[in-house]
Structure formats: structure tokens, C-alpha cells
Amino acid sequence: MNKQWFLGLSASLLVSTGTMANTHEVTIYLDSNSQTNIAPVLKIARDEWDQHPESDASFGFSQSRFGVAYRHAALANWQLHTMQRIDYLIDTNAQTALGYYQEQNDQPLTSYDSYDTRLALTGARSKGLGLAYQHHFDAVTVTVQANYWQLNYLRDSQLSGALSGSDNAQLRGALQFSEFYSDNNFLKRPNTDNAWHTRGDGLSLDVHFDWQVTEHFAFSGQVIDLYNQFELAKAGFTEADINTKGSFVDNAGFSSFRPLLKGRESAQNHDFDLPIQVYLQGQYQYQGYHYLASVRRQGDQHFAQLGMQLGDWRVMLDPINRAPELAYLGGTWSVTTALDHINPNKALTLRLNLSWQLAW
């Protein structure tokens, strides 16, 4: 991993400083964004499968960042961040989600002759430091933030193959499985004699801009993880073929037994990156109201919102996912929440943003 790139960027940005009032400024913030088209977010998080998955089930993500930022008058354009982040990503298909739901509820897997099984699951938790620099042009303000992360938890799993079931709840099929991990793993392999490492590191770059295009129209944007790379040297690694048939007849005509699971366990270097998050918003001011339109991209998923703001209050609506968003944007604190169901336990969309600023 190119740590020299991170250090070089931080050093190159230390070219100029701005001015502000002689004060300290501390900002505490939380940005959490979860969405899925599989089953309610909180039920997936608790591994509770008492609700039939959606017919178009294919993705899920939950990405959160909690941090404290500090700014001093002597370096008014600079801000130091200490942060923690949690990232969970699911990529699957409807047949896999249905099969897992049926298996968890002791139902036979007979909806399809053969279930096309595909699942990619990534979970990562990190803590880090960030250094942000803000520069003001004539009508544009740009903030660039470089981050260093210590990776404390990783589980990166891949499953593919085909399964079929019978009325007596027996399973048949063949699956291919692979998994990198820092601790918890599917086969509950113990880390005997420190067979693999449990800590890694990472780098990321975020960019934010505000552009006052005209007197009445403004355009802003934020790109999280524009560049990012994480590495866990000597991660725990398992790859295996899972076969439920048990016995077969070989080429010589002899009946042989095939183990249900055959593979290997080792330690390997593992690099991975996280999907880029993009948020763009246009704002038009007319007769005291602010009319808003925004688009959001989270990896391969795209979302859109329309809304308006009056004073400190903002209301937005995602018309496709039918997820209203309500925000209070005060001078020292703000809160934004979005739900597609009044009961959080049934919501496919959950978003919460909090910010509290202290100055003295």
C-alpha cells in the first residue's frame, strides 16, 4: 500500500492557511446509510428471517462513519478528524435469498428445480485519522480529506453454485466457497498459534464542494471513498467445495464416497476496496423557499430525491423507493432521518445523519 502517497498529499496541502475568529471548533458527527431490497435492514442485521424476501432481492449495504473533528484559528482551513467506520455489503440474487429464508424457517427448497446460488458478503470495521483542507475560490469552496485507517475486522466471503431440495427437507447440490477473515469465519476456524494476522490498514480520499452558481442557484456535491484501498497481510483464508451428494460412481465403476466439504485453510495477503459514494444536489431559491433535487450513488445503486427547504427545515422524497426524508439544519446542530416505513423494523431504507458543533 502506498503510504508515501498519503503522507505526500498531506504535506503538499500544507501550503497555505486561512483565517477565522480566535476560537476552537469541535464537531461531532454520525453519518449512517443503510438500504436493501432483500428484507428489512434491521432484520438482516439481527439474522431474523421471519419475513419473505423481496421478489427482486439482489443487494444490501450499511455504511456508517462516526467522528470528531477539530479546527483551530491558527490553521483555519484545516480540520483534523478521528473516526470509526463500519461497512457491510451484500450482493446476491432472489433465488439465494429465497433459499436462505426457506432453510432458516425449515421449509423445503422446492420453489425451483435448482436454485442458482450466489452470495458475496463483505464486512469491515476500522478506526482512523483524517486531515481535511478547505480552499475558497470565487464562488466555489472545495474540501479535500485524506484518511488513514486501521482495519480491525474483516470478513470477505464468496459463495456460488447450485442447490435443490425435496419435500423431506433434504438438500442436494454443489457449492464453491471462499473467505478471507480477520477473526470470525464460517467454519469457525480457530487462530491457533497466531496462524494469521487480525489487523490491517487502509487509505481513502473524500472530496466535498459547494458552488454558488448564480444568486438563486447553488450546486453541491460530496464523494466519499473517491480513492480507497485496504490491505490485510496474512489474512485467514479458506476455500472449499461443498457437495451434498456424498457418494458417486467413479470411472472404473466403483462406488466411492466424497466428503461433504473438501478444501484448504491457509493465510494469504488480501487487498480490497469499498464502493464509491457520490451525492449531488441542486438548490434553487425562490420567494423564501429552497427547491431541491438530488441524486445519490452507492456503489452500483442509484437513488434520486426531490424536496424543498423553508428556514431550518427540509423535506425530501425518494419517489422510487417511497422513502421520505426529514431534516432540521440548525446553526450548531443538525439531524437528518429517512425511512420508507414508519416501523423501523420493517424499513428497507434507514438513514441517519447527526452533527453537533461546539465553538469557544
Predicted pLDDT at 242: 87
Predicted pLDDT at 16: 41
C-alpha cell at 298: 452507492
Task: Answer for the pair 318, 294: CB distance below 8 angstroms, yes or no.
Answer: no
Neighbours of 101 (CB within 10 A): 19
The 3-state DSSP composition of the chain as helix, strand, coil percent (nearest 5) reads: 10, 60, 30
pLDDT tens digit sequence for 160-201: 999 988 887 778 889 999 999 999 998 899 999 999 999 999
Q: Which helix (H) or strand (E) holds 4?
A: helix 3-13
C-alpha cell at 320: 422510487
Task: Answer for the pair 178, 158: CB distance below 8 angstroms, yes or no.
Answer: yes
Cα 348 from Cα 53, distance rounded (Å): 11
Backbone angles phi, psi at 112, to 5 degrees: -130, 150
Q: State the first-to-last Cα distance of the chain, in angstroms, to the nearest integer.
A: 39
Predicted pLDDT at 300: 87
Predicted pLDDT at 13: 45
Predicted pLDDT at 11: 47
C-alpha cell at 127: 478506526
Task: Answer for the pair 60, 35: CB distance below 8 angstroms, yes or no.
Answer: yes
Predicted pLDDT at 15: 41
Neighbours of 150 (CB within 10 A): 14
243: nearest Cα among 189, 158, 188, 171: 171
Neighbours of 352 (CB within 10 A): 15
Cα 346 from Cα 338, distance rounded (Å): 13
* Amino acid (one-letter) located at 257: F
Question: Total structural domains in the chain?
Answer: 1
What is the domain range of residue 12? Answer: 3-359
Whole-model pTM: value is: 0.88
Bridge partner list, 135: 142
83: nearest Cα among 99, 97, 64: 64
Residues lower than pLDDT 70 in the chain: 1-22, 245-259
Predicted pLDDT at 247: 55
